[in-house]
Structure 1
Amino acid sequence: MAITGGRSLVSSSPDFSLDGQKLLVCTGNTVSIFSTSTGLKMMELEGHTALVTSVVVTRVSSSATKVPCFCWTSSLDGTIRYWDFSVPEVIKTVDVRVPIFAMVIPDVFGSVASGGSGKPPDRFAFISAKGDCKANKNGKPLHGQIWRCNLVKGSLSGAILAETRYPVSLAVSTSGEFVGIHKKRKACIWKILAKDSTCDVKKITLHHTKSLSVLAFHPTERIVAAGDVVGRILIWRDFGNRTFGGSGVTKGREARNDEERPEVRGDDDADSCSTWHWHPTEVKVLRFSSDGAYLYSGAREGVLVVWQLETGNKKFLPRIGSPLLYFNFADSPDTSLSSISCADNQIHLLTMPAMRISKSISGIKPRCSYPETYKGLTSRVAFDHSAGLVATCTENYCVQLYSLSDDREVSQVQVCERNYQPNDDTTLFVAILAVSMDGSKLSTVEVQLPEEELGGLVCLKFWDQTRSGEFSLSTPIYEPHGDAGVSAIAFHPTRDMAVTSSFGGNFKIWVRRHNMKQTNTVPSISGWSCHSVGSYKKTPMTAASFSADGSVLAVASENVISLWDPDRNVLVALIGETLAPINKLCFIGKSDYLVSLSRGSRPQLCVWSMAKLSISWSYKLHAEAVTAFDGSCFAVLALVAQSPGQIVTDATMTQSMDGVILIFDAENPVPLAIWSVQKAKGGEISFIFSNLNSHHEKVSDDELPTLMLAYVSGDQEYVVFDPYCKDQSTKRNKTSSAILPETGNFGYMSIYGELPQLGSKMEKISSPAFAPSDKPWETIFSGSTHALPPLKKLCAAFLESF
């Protein structure tokens, strides 16, 4: 059994259900449906075989008493699907045979029934797709195409509306009358005239001096807003009067002559153009309020700005903490919700008009960025083996604790008290992260880079877990190794002891003191202090690890491994040199073996015998991570070379390159099992316990925990599986059982009515906790070829799929 998760929540704009009680979010190949009251996942729409790029909830007329729950989705698999997400089930599939990067559907509030025929209306969708590569007048390739798709007939309608260098986003007016795109320094707008004609669109182009980044239409008037790459917002009023005809004059304004068109460039078809400028960076969010009185904007600085359209006055929702990507309203008279999608893989639900964050839906946050000189010298991911959590260093100076079984955030640790700043230069970051074996202790190293060779600082912090499950700061230690940086942290497996190694040529053993002096006014407190210091020939210390029982400490002095008694700080033995400096050490369970990883131009995986104090076997392998637990087996995540004999380096390896997970026995260099994975660059692996689904859950005395292997890819997607089980069937992460009650008929019957000869069985079936998919994690994981399920199980699964 395998569990997957960690998908992006902000790859596309989400959409609210008509009653505002659900939020539909594109997550990889599926659409996840969250409750807006609890923030928990309720169900998923599964069926697409590639990334879902858009979801559009549509209003339909229905005789059922329940609120209609229908939506359209598009995907890179080249299909558009129509869903009843109350079941959930797919009603219709339209195959356009081109990857769809964006989709908008004008007149989304039309009726599904036309008279009493029960047939859906003649509805069209505008799609931004990747088509056959053509060259423009300058010889540059054109990969993007704008098409109109007839959703009833299931085919593309008419000719290509526009071709672009790359697929672009689309904007549509509330009435469905106008559709637009931004194309470099131009805004292209089409007016839909007659849906049944082959020549039923007219187009105008508005020009600007800078490249545009986003477009938005006013809900009731001929006003279009655009944001550019330098942070300006342009408002064109009464556009298209000459080309489109009709009375398009904005309410309360008179038509102007060509000489009275302020800020309108050239012969652009608009009455006036005004410019607002507050954002210092590229505008990413632009959305009019439902009544058109206000315009919402956002950019990289993480501030939502509300502009009053008539006066230009503004107010703010500051300190959101991440660049803004999308902003949506719930189209329901009974709710005043809106959502903000942020670049840190988080969606905030706002209560309007107060703009108060009422709930947040969090995925795994992206890892923080590092200066080039620190890349490869940091440890950004750690695992809580006992609770099944992964801890990651994030951009906002936090450590996020994320449940791999529940696919949701458990808590956050604010390492540095500093507001988010959208600077390109990284001056402060969390470089190293470590979690104790029982998950009760956490250690971080934050680095403040010097400015003009002044003000640099390294701070080691120890954190203790409280009864509520949160972490509180126990001891901050400034400059733990003087002017030198910290290269690694390792906790003792059973005691309150830790070791830090330093590029300055020494390591320090830290212990927790519980017997600090108590006075009448100050209670006794505990804290971490230095127990001993060790070094070997003053060479940089690059890695450290405790043995399974904690009696031996292994420290890497570049190419040499030194073994120490941690209690007495005595050098016990030395192990021979490796080809390149060691950056990772790991004792293999309770066996007499130690594994080391070396990277760089001469990568190497070495297994050392502690009994013989010599190398047992090795591979010339570019390994990203290694993990081991009790026993003599260990797992390695390795990168695959691009061609035979080629060495993989940071310059030649990209996130899309494949890797492998290998299971070894310490005494045998032949792998016991091999799994191919994608996005292995920057990935991590670890053994965890699968039956601990929450941060507070304990293992019962009569239930033995199952040891599982967790793989987190370079883009934060993960899979948790049993490496020793042949049955590698998959399931999604758990969904909330508190699904809102549904009344009336579902799916087919809600549109066409109940069939007389068949009863509704859906009402008798309880809602599933999860909906398994055929191959939900094939993009990041595939099972070993010699560990297939028995033929009987394969046949049963095959027959049941029909």
Structure 2
Amino acid sequence: MAASNLQPHTIPLPQSPAKVKAPSKKGKGKARDPATAAPKRRVQVSQSEPSSPSWDWTSLTDSLVSNVAPTFTKDGSYFFSLVGASVRIYAVATGKVVSTLSIPRPTGYDASGDILTCAVLNPHNAFQLITGSVAGVLAVWDFLEGSLLQTVDISQTVQHMCVHENFKDTVFVTASRPGKKGVVDENGVVLRVSLKPPDAASQSTIQKSSEITPIGKVRLPTGLAFSPSGGWLVAIAGHKAYVASTASLRSGFTKYVSPERLTCIAFHPSEDYFATGDEKGSIRLWYCLDHLPIKPVGVEKKTQTTTMHWHAHPVASLAFTANGAYLLSGGEESVLVIWQLHTGKREFLPRIGSPIKTISVSKATTSGDEEYLLGLADATYAFVGAASLKVTRSYSRIKLDPTSVPNAPSTSKHSTAPLAVHSLTSTLILPSSHPAVSRREREDKPIEPCRIERVTISHSGDWMATIDIREGDENIHGESYLKIWRWDRKTGFWILNTRVDRPHGLEKITDVSLSPAPEGQPLLLVTAGGDKNVKTWRIRTTKNKSGPPEEFWVARSTSSLQKETPSHVSWSPDASLLAVTLPHRVVLFTPSTNLLRHSLALPECGAVNAAHFIGKAGRYLAVVGAIDLVLWDLVTQRVCWHHKSSSHIRALVSHPREDTFMILLSPSSEDRPKSRVAVFSVNSAQPTKTLSVPFGFRNVVWYPLAASSFSLVGITHDWKVVVLGDGIHAHVPKDEGTVSRELASHSAPYRRTLFQDIFGKSAFGEQALAASGSQSFASASISRPWTGREGAEVFEGAAYLMPPLEKLFEPLMSGFLKPRAAEDSALPSTVVDMDVDMEGDAPPTTLVGVDSRRTVDKEEMGAMIDLFKAHTLKAKAPVVMGGSGTKPNGLVNGKVNGVSSRVPSSAHKPNGVPTPSKVVVNNASESPALVNGKKRKKSLG
């Protein structure tokens, strides 16, 4: 790259806009002095913020993992999961989202705060779902048709909801009024809400309830449930369980005190007692419903409970099995505990893979056994068989949620997250969704997990470097690792190649980057650290006697930067320059020689945060400050222009093929985050366009999307992965089921019955389905290649429940053995090998095959029967004696007394019909002639 002897400190720079004085009318102002003023065509200062239309974006992940347990449909074919402001309907058999229920919003409506908090099935209509939200809206859905039937606004945040068949068109909720800045008030109330609107508002879109009756006040409610008989309503909040008799709701609650804060509740399916979990890991069974005082208002009581304890951390969820004999519990330990209530014994299903947040039980039906559905913190749904106590199947989705660990330092909205795009596989490198360690028992402070702070991938996609750190405390030493991984193209995995412990000593690593490595240049890695050094690393190759040469990374050079801590490093596109950002300047190095080429001091920027090369040629350098953006021309050694923004500049992303780039501006308010994206050209300080997106970002990088002028991928503040770009919806199709759709009766997920496992599917059912011209979504999605083990599960049942073996043989064999395809009938028959010594000058024999298209009449069939009777049942096979043995049917293998023996071709041919020892039907229209030879293979037909 061309360089000049002109140094940056000799170039006149414009003053900060805040210090520029207006020129006087006499023309004697300082700005008029040509010796101190920069040319206007070179420097442009802009403070204006144009209007910001919305930019196209689509989400690749879920924004939240709901704490609400999924609800099953009555037949167990589907379950409902709350995701943000929508309800997703999953097929149990396939795990796919078949429909999504979302309340229609007007254009420009911000639904980020309208989060769904609860959902229940209507006890009087099994095809209706009722949901509650933070916005205080109760919605009634017909999920079969995917239509919204009714919306009722109660103007209070709905936290929990329960229903019972004894109360028609009525729901019971715990609600709180919104506090300041969107914070929900701790003081709540239990309400009885009628879903019937008043006559005057029956035709309006959003209706009001005709009757809302308060039952009692609660503080920080965490659960609400009905007894199976409907005679008792129980709410848990803080250290108390609030019990009310539904026969006299106006009498209010009786309060029962718990020694620990309660976290979850579950009612026994048939008896009037309930179980609660607390924050210390204890489970209590409450038998207090039959001993309520006559006047319960304002009464706090203690009652005898049965306590069960295993969990070391708060119990996240509880659920009784359908028969009421077992209680399921789970939490942060990633272990499902099954309690046998009558004996107190327990069983464990460990190593689930992630903390358990919810537990749901699907009732056993005629088409399947009872199953437990576990909702995990990493957005995975795992099904556990009640009989085997094993995870039968699990459905995972992309999820980034470090907030699953309380008080984790990465939960800050200002913390960054590693993000990179792997070009070889077109995949994203994202941070792990949950830590691999749990907290210590009886300690509120979590164990700080080892996490990846930064990641970089080479342009070829063969190498990746990560920075792994773990903060230390009084008990654990801090850790810092530089890990370099190599992509194995055969296996499709990243393999750790080199690990460097504490590459910058006890100081933190501030940045890491791999060089572009054009053809013919070695690949280099650069790291910057808090020890005020910049280090480069290279690949070393050593010979290996027993195999191919071995490659690993070693330190190449270390450069000290005069007691200044570098914050950012950037490579030029041709890897000829390395820009290192210091607090108040940017220095340019030549990586091949480690020589300092230039030092750019930009007083108008103040503190400098980063510097990026712009364009395919890398002629320009964009220097980013807190609110300032300066473009420097490396060839002319001049400031092209200066842009001052009214918002904080969060990141800069350069276009890889054009001389354009974008800057990401932080949201103006943390309560309602809304970022702006400004796209710039190197020719002007004014952005070519300014766009807005309804969230803030932790990190954003370039995403190579075809036919899009600018496309990005980023991680938002609420740990959602989104793709942004011009016309992004046309290039990133949505997943099937992301919109509301009708669930027809024939589209129910197919589940095989025991009868079908034994005798197979009904041919009449398949023909009827084909005749209707429709195929269910589930049946099409669960079709898999034949493995030969489809009928093996039949033998897993008890022997006395199985049918006789003669009934099983034919259906199982038809499943194990693949029938011959129709086109195979035209192939020649299998040749039967019979080693016979032939005379050297024997004439070639031509076999005439039988045409399979010829119709066999009764006369010919009768002749065949007579032949069979004459030569098989009555005739005796002649015996030919030989020196070495005998052979029936007159055939002698081998030589007798040194003479080659064979049966004359005319032997045993009554009526001209041959009678070989083995009959092989040849379906070919023509048979090839046998080849002459001393010894050859003979085929009979």
TM over 0.5: yes
Partner of 1:634: 661
Q: Which is helix-richer, 1 or 2?
A: 2
Q: Does 1:392 align with 2:430?
A: yes
Partner of 1:782: none
Q: Does 1:487 align with 2:542?
A: no
1:524-535 pair list within 5 angstroms = 524-535=549-560
**Could you tell me which amino acid in structure 2 is paired with residue 458 of structure 1?**
S
d(CA) in 2 for partners of 1:374, 1:267:
38
- When residues 453 and 588 of structure 1 are mapped into structure 2, their CA distance, relative to the original with a 3 A threshold, is farther
- When residues 131 and 744 of structure 1 are mapped into structure 2, their CA distance, relative to the original with a 3 A threshold, is same
d(CA) in 1 for partners of 2:188, 2:327:
29
Q: Does 1:343 align with 2:345?
A: no
d(CA) in 1 for partners of 2:411, 2:693:
26
The alpha-carbon deviation at position 595 of structure 1 amounts to: 2.6
Secondary structure in 1 matching 2:688: strand
Q: Does 1:289 align with 2:311?
A: no
**Could you tell me which amino acid in structure 2 is paired with residue 689 of structure 1?**
P
Contact kept? 1:193, 1:201, Cα under 8 Å: no
Partner of 1:144: 188
Match of 1:209 among 253, 259, 271: 259
d(CA) in 2 for partners of 1:547, 1:639:
27
Secondary structure in 2 matching 1:362: coil
Q: Does 1:666 align with 2:682?
A: yes
Match of 1:236 among 280, 286, 290: 286
d(CA) in 2 for partners of 1:213, 1:273:
16
The alpha-carbon deviation at position 186 of structure 1 amounts to: 1.1
The alpha-carbon deviation at position 500 of structure 1 amounts to: 1.4
Partner of 1:364: 399
Partner of 1:507: 534
- When residues 581 and 267 of structure 1 are mapped into structure 2, their CA distance, relative to the original with a 3 A threshold, is closer
Contact kept? 1:48, 1:77, Cα under 8 Å: no
Unpaired runs of 5+ residues, structure 2, are 1-55, 106-113, 198-206, 749-771, 779-941
The alpha-carbon deviation at position 460 of structure 1 amounts to: 0.8
Cα shift readout 1:283-310 (whole Å, capped 9, x = no counterpart): 2212222222222223333333222223
Contact kept? 1:231, 1:279, Cα under 8 Å: yes
Cα shift readout 1:665-722 (whole Å, capped 9, x = no counterpart): 2332222222334442x5322331335xxxxxxxxxxxx5664233432112344332
For this pair of structures, how many residues does the alignment match? 655
1:485-564 pair list within 5 angstroms = 485-494=508-517, 496-513=523-540, 515-520=541-546, 522-564=547-589
The alpha-carbon deviation at position 517 of structure 1 amounts to: 1.2
- When residues 244 and 733 of structure 1 are mapped into structure 2, their CA distance, relative to the original with a 3 A threshold, is farther
The alpha-carbon deviation at position 730 of structure 1 amounts to: 12
The worse-fitting range, judged by mean Cα deviation, of 628-637 and 440-449 is: 440-449
Partner of 1:611: 635
d(CA) in 1 for partners of 2:87, 2:287:
37
Partner of 1:594: 621
Q: Which has the larger radius of gyration?
A: 2
d(CA) in 2 for partners of 1:608, 1:37:
59
Contact kept? 2:437, 2:447, Cα under 8 Å: no
The alpha-carbon deviation at position 610 of structure 1 amounts to: 2.2
Q: Does 1:457 align with 2:457?
A: no
d(CA) in 2 for partners of 1:371, 1:202:
40
Contact kept? 1:3, 1:730, Cα under 8 Å: no
1:112-511 pair list within 5 angstroms = 122-131=168-177, 143-151=187-195, 155=209, 157-166=211-220, 168-193=222-247, 203-242=253-292, 268=301, 272-333=304-365, 334-357=368-391, 358-367=393-402, 379-384=416-421, 386=423, 389-394=427-432, 396=434, 419-421=437-439, 423-426=445-448, 428-437=450-459, 439-450=461-472, 452=474, 455-467=477-489, 468-494=491-517, 496-511=523-538
Contact kept? 2:408, 2:446, Cα under 8 Å: no
- When residues 627 and 17 of structure 1 are mapped into structure 2, their CA distance, relative to the original with a 3 A threshold, is farther
- TM-score, length basis structure 2: 0.62
Partner of 1:753: none
1:694-733 pair list within 5 angstroms = 707-723=710-726, 733=734
Secondary structure in 2 matching 1:240: helix
d(CA) in 1 for partners of 2:324, 2:228:
11
The alpha-carbon deviation at position 736 of structure 1 amounts to: 6.3
Contact kept? 2:79, 2:89, Cα under 8 Å: yes
The alpha-carbon deviation at position 478 of structure 1 amounts to: 2.0
Partner of 1:9: 65
**Could you tell me which amino acid in structure 2 is paired with residue 56 of structure 1?**
V
Contact kept? 1:546, 1:553, Cα under 8 Å: yes
- TM-score, length basis structure 1: 0.72
**Could you tell me which amino acid in structure 2 is paired with residue 545 of structure 1?**
S
d(CA) in 1 for partners of 2:668, 2:302:
56
d(CA) in 2 for partners of 1:686, 1:549:
20
The alpha-carbon deviation at position 481 of structure 1 amounts to: 2.6
The alpha-carbon deviation at position 597 of structure 1 amounts to: 3.5
Contact kept? 1:287, 1:327, Cα under 8 Å: yes
The alpha-carbon deviation at position 737 of structure 1 amounts to: 11
d(CA) in 2 for partners of 1:165, 1:454:
38
Contact kept? 1:385, 1:688, Cα under 8 Å: no
- When residues 338 and 152 of structure 1 are mapped into structure 2, their CA distance, relative to the original with a 3 A threshold, is farther
d(CA) in 2 for partners of 1:75, 1:448:
38
The alpha-carbon deviation at position 282 of structure 1 amounts to: 2.5
Contact kept? 2:335, 2:348, Cα under 8 Å: yes
Partner of 2:874: none
**Could you tell me which amino acid in structure 2 is paired with residue 147 of structure 1?**
L
d(CA) in 1 for partners of 2:410, 2:103:
44
The alpha-carbon deviation at position 327 of structure 1 amounts to: 1.1
Q: How many percent identity over aligned positions?
A: 22
The alpha-carbon deviation at position 543 of structure 1 amounts to: 0.9
Cα shift readout 1:557-577 (whole Å, capped 9, x = no counterpart): 332212122333333222115
**Could you tell me which amino acid in structure 2 is paired with residue 55 of structure 1?**
A
Q: Which is strand-richer, 1 or 2?
A: 1
Partner of 1:75: 133
- When residues 456 and 180 of structure 1 are mapped into structure 2, their CA distance, relative to the original with a 3 A threshold, is same
The alpha-carbon deviation at position 544 of structure 1 amounts to: 0.7
Partner of 1:743: 745
The alpha-carbon deviation at position 660 of structure 1 amounts to: 2.2
- When residues 706 and 207 of structure 1 are mapped into structure 2, their CA distance, relative to the original with a 3 A threshold, is same
Partner of 1:103: 161
The alpha-carbon deviation at position 461 of structure 1 amounts to: 0.8
**Could you tell me which amino acid in structure 2 is paired with residue 484 of structure 1?**
E
d(CA) in 1 for partners of 2:170, 2:439:
43
Match of 1:584 among 597, 603, 610: 610
Secondary structure in 2 matching 1:669: coil
d(CA) in 2 for partners of 1:604, 1:502:
25
The alpha-carbon deviation at position 188 of structure 1 amounts to: 0.8
- When residues 450 and 741 of structure 1 are mapped into structure 2, their CA distance, relative to the original with a 3 A threshold, is closer
**Could you tell me which amino acid in structure 2 is paired with residue 29 of structure 1?**
A
d(CA) in 2 for partners of 1:359, 1:275:
32
**Could you tell me which amino acid in structure 2 is paired with residue 684 of structure 1?**
N
d(CA) in 2 for partners of 1:207, 1:296:
23
- When residues 583 and 179 of structure 1 are mapped into structure 2, their CA distance, relative to the original with a 3 A threshold, is farther
The alpha-carbon deviation at position 11 of structure 1 amounts to: 4.7
Contact kept? 1:8, 1:363, Cα under 8 Å: no
